[in-house]
Amino acid sequence: MKTTPQILKGMRDFLAPRMRLRRYVIDTLTTVFERYGFEPLETPAVEYAETLEGKYGEEADKLIYKFEDRGERRVGLRYDLTVPLCRVVAMTPDLVRPYKRYQIAPVWRAEKPQKGRYREFWQCDVDIVGSTSILADAEVVKVVYEGLTALGFQSFVIKINHRKVLTGLAMYANVPTDQIAAVYRVIDKMDKIGLQSVRDELSAMGIAADTIDRLLAVCGTRGSNSELLANVQAKLGNIPVGAEGVSELNELVAYLEAIGVPESYYQIDLTMVRGLDYYTGPIFETTVERPRIGSISGGGRYDRLVGMLGGREYPATGVAFGLERIVDVIEELAMAPAAVTAPATKVLVTIFSPELIDPSLALAEQLRSKAINTETYLGADRLGAQLKYADRKGIPYVIIIGPDELAAGVVVLRNMQTKEERRVTASEVVVLLGV
Ligand code: AMP
């Protein structure tokens, strides 16, 4: 009995036009990553479950796809590219450090699928392992700016916060230790639900009024980067961990200026928290106004993760671009250059009749040898059917070689868009269709 073919929820197939767009995004980002000295890395899709477990936080851990393999080993599909990177670093002591790598690959999370949220999705990661310098964090932010700019993004904001500032702020406001995570989950929603709703939710959780006031006197204020940093410095200056965070943010901002990230593209945002447990320093998240879609990149510093994987502890920082959301934005705002989604085939050589297959095949080979992407029609169907095939596939040119053309040593070159037909020699075709 035949079954209806199905695809798993949150997972997708990509056919030609979208596939080309994805490749364009990957190629563009790769060019930017390599311009900054990042080297490629690939790791397996499947890791030991214990490598993945206990790294992301309780909620995220539930989303890891886990199963037993044929040898009854507990394994899992990678949840991100950061933990596999740290495993590689822990297993490869002789890496040249700082180790700068990029990895562009699929990851899997058992999330509830919705717009911009899939179960299989690609991340494009750049990370620097082995540097405590804030310069490394600044470079990561610069790569986000460069990558998105190279893809034609014009209005985006890289939000920046610092885990030490959040720790210091929790101390300053006397947030009970066991409620810190929950409090920040609410504060993280500030953009979505607004100041008053955040206040109400915190209050409903039983957080003291004075604590809420202190928290919101820092997180709830708006202003320029320097105003916000001055405000948080004034409040957290006496709390060592907080002061350290503020000082690193100041340093980061100074470096961003030095490496040419315009201030309009980044914003200190003390409400931005980020879910993953492993961050220890500056954190980054990029959002766009339009279309309404979650963050298009996210990252930060994670100085303890390599150590958690069994190796020596190495400081590290990095960012993941979300390929799916970037592609969704480019599609929705029609940002891709037309050539990106155009078919790669330049010309279809038709088959006039069974007797004339050979000259068509020979010409196609000649064009391919000149690096012109050429299809031959596979059979001697009616010419109309062959032209329709080219038209449906968006192939811009068609070549017809009938008995008259063969006798005269020429071919008919048809422009499928203008429908103009010219009788030209094979070498003229090479010139006309060559790049
Ligand atoms: P994270 O690893 O959660 O920090 O995510 C980094 C980036 O990956 C985000 O900014 C998103 O662009 C992308 N991303 C995260 N989760 C998903 C998902 N379920 N579907 C598509 N993209 C995602």
pLDDT surpasses 80 at 311: no
Count other C-beta atoms under 10 Å from residue 434's C-beta. 11
Atom number in ligand 1 closest to CA 82: 2
pLDDT tens digits, one per residue of 84-131? 999 999 999 999 999 999 999 999 999 999 999 999 999 999 999 999
Per cent of the chain over pLDDT 90 is 93
Query: What pLDDT, on a 0 to 100 scale, did the predictor assign at position 103?
Result: 98
What would the two tokens of residue 394 be? 């968006």
Q: CA dist 251 to 138, 221, 322, 433, Å?
A: 9, 21, 27, 53
Whether 297 is in the pocket of ligand 1, judged by its Cβ within 6 Å, is yes
**Contact, 345 vs 374, CB < 8 A?**
yes
Atom number in ligand 1 closest to CA 111: 19
C-alpha 322 to ligand 1 mean position (Å) = 5
C-alpha 236 to ligand 1 mean position (Å) = 31
In a mutational test of the pocket of ligand 1, which residue from 121, 125, 148 has the highest number of ligand atoms less than 8 Å from its CB?
A: 121
C-alpha 253 to ligand 1 mean position (Å) = 25
pLDDT tens digits, one per residue of 196-254? 999 999 999 999 999 999 999 999 888 999 999 999 999 999 999 999 999 999 999 99
DSSP string, 198-211: HHHHHHHTT--HHH
Count other C-beta atoms under 10 Å from residue 165's C-beta. 30
CB proximity list for 237: less than 8 A, separation 6 or greater? 243, 246
What would the two tokens of residue 42 be? 């690939």
pLDDT tens digits, one per residue of 380-431? 999 999 999 999 999 999 999 999 999 999 999 999 999 999 999 999 999 9
**Higher-pLDDT residue of 282, 292:** 282
Whether 117 is in the pocket of ligand 1, judged by its Cβ within 6 Å, is yes
- Determine the Cα–Cα distance for residues 146 and 198; give it in Å rounded to an integer: 34
Query: What pLDDT, on a 0 to 100 scale, did the predictor assign at position 142?
Result: 98
**Contact, 356 vs 406, CB < 8 A?**
yes
This prediction's pTM: 0.95
Residue 172 burial by Cβ neighbours in a 10 Å radius (0-12, 13-18, 19+): buried
Whether 12 is in the pocket of ligand 1, judged by its Cβ within 6 Å, is no
Average pLDDT, the chain: 96
- Determine the Cα–Cα distance for residues 104 and 53; give it in Å rounded to an integer: 22
In a mutational test of the pocket of ligand 1, which residue from 107, 153, 158, 297 has the highest number of ligand atoms less than 8 Å from its CB?
A: 297
- Determine the Cα–Cα distance for residues 292 and 275; give it in Å rounded to an integer: 20
Whether 121 is in the pocket of ligand 1, judged by its Cβ within 6 Å, is yes
pLDDT band at 274, cuts 50/70/90? confident
C-alpha 295 to ligand 1 mean position (Å) = 7
The protein residue whose alpha carbon is closest to atom 8 in ligand 1 is 322
pLDDT band at 434, cuts 50/70/90? confident
Q: Is the Cα dihedral 203, 206, 207, 209 positive or negative?
A: positive
In a mutational test of the pocket of ligand 1, which residue from 123, 140, 272 has the highest number of ligand atoms less than 8 Å from its CB?
A: 123
Whether 201 is in the pocket of ligand 1, judged by its Cβ within 6 Å, is no
Query: What pLDDT, on a 0 to 100 scale, did the predictor assign at position 220?
Result: 86
pLDDT band at 82, cuts 50/70/90? very high
**Contact, 140 vs 298, CB < 8 A?**
no
pLDDT tens digits, one per residue of 313-339? 999 999 999 999 999 999 999 999 989
